[in-house]
């Protein structure tokens, strides 16, 4: 995962057959699963975001044709390292007042 925006955008063009300047977020996971990079072009310039988990791996959806479309909520779970396929409630109020 040594690639920056030029290398990752070329990967999006060649492997995914998509335009990296279209305004979509493209999330690419490292081989080990503990690092992701997000590329996004906002119309004015390119943005590259990187996140590395200290423990565990990012839960990655399986792709039939090489691409996966996820909802903004699923992206939030993915970025937090939560298993987006089956999120668990961690807290529930016991009583009001």
pLDDT tens digit string along 17-67?
899 999 999 999 888 888 999 999 998 999 999 999 888 888 887 777 778
The answer to whether residue 12 is domain-embedded is yes
Residue 51 placed within a domain = yes
Q: Give domain status of residue 95, yes or no.
A: no
Measured distance CA(38)–CA(76) in Å, rounded: 13
Tokens of 35: 């690092």
Q: Which residues pair with 35 in a beta bridge?
A: 52
| Rounded CA separation 27/13 (Å) | 13
Give the Cα separation of 37 and 30 in Å (integer): 8
pTM: 0.77
- Full domain range(s) for residue 38: 5-80
């Amino acid at each position: 995962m040594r690639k920056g925006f030029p290398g990752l955008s070329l990967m999006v063009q060649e492997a995914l057959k998509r335009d990296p300047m279209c305004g979509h977020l493209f999330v690419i996971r490292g081989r080990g699963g503990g690092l992701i990079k997000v590329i996004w072009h906002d119309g004015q310039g390119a943005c590259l975001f990187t996140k590395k988990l200290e423990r565990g791996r990012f839960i990655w959806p399986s792709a039939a044709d090489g691409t996966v479309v996820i909802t903004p909520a699923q992206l939030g779970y993915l970025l937090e390292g939560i298993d987006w396929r089956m999120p668990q409630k961690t807290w529930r109020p016991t009583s009001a007042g």
